[in-house]
Amino acid sequence: KPVFVYKMIARGTVEEKIQRLQREKSALASGVLDGRTSGDWKLRDEDLQALFAPLPAAPKKTRK
């Protein structure tokens, strides 16, 4: 039987940032292996700042 795998990632989380970087790195690796890349493949300052930026505060749960 076919199996379907879904990756559930919430917005504004570290996981979302990591997934974006993984996609970019995968595209970079494909380009390098296929010879389709220029020399401009280093992480930009914006990439590093986005990775280490504080996450938005989660809403506090209240008990009743």
DSSP per position, 28-53: HHHHHHHT---S--SPPHHHHHHHHS
Count the domains in the chain. 1
Helix (H, G, I), strand (E, B) or coil at 4: coil
Chain CA centroid to CA 61, Å:
28
Q: How confident is the model at residue 4 (pLDDT cuts 50, 70, 90)?
A: very high
Q: How confident is the model at residue 3 (pLDDT cuts 50, 70, 90)?
A: very high
pTM of this prediction? Answer: 0.46
Higher-confidence residue: 10 or 39?
10
Residue 21, exposed/middle/buried by CB under 10 A (0-12, 13-18, 19+)? middle
In a domain, 25, yes or no: yes
In a domain, 61, yes or no: no
In a domain, 60, yes or no: no
Q: How confident is the model at residue 1 (pLDDT cuts 50, 70, 90)?
A: very high
Residue-number span of the structural domain to which 18 is assigned: 7-34+42-54
In a domain, 49, yes or no: yes
In a domain, 62, yes or no: no
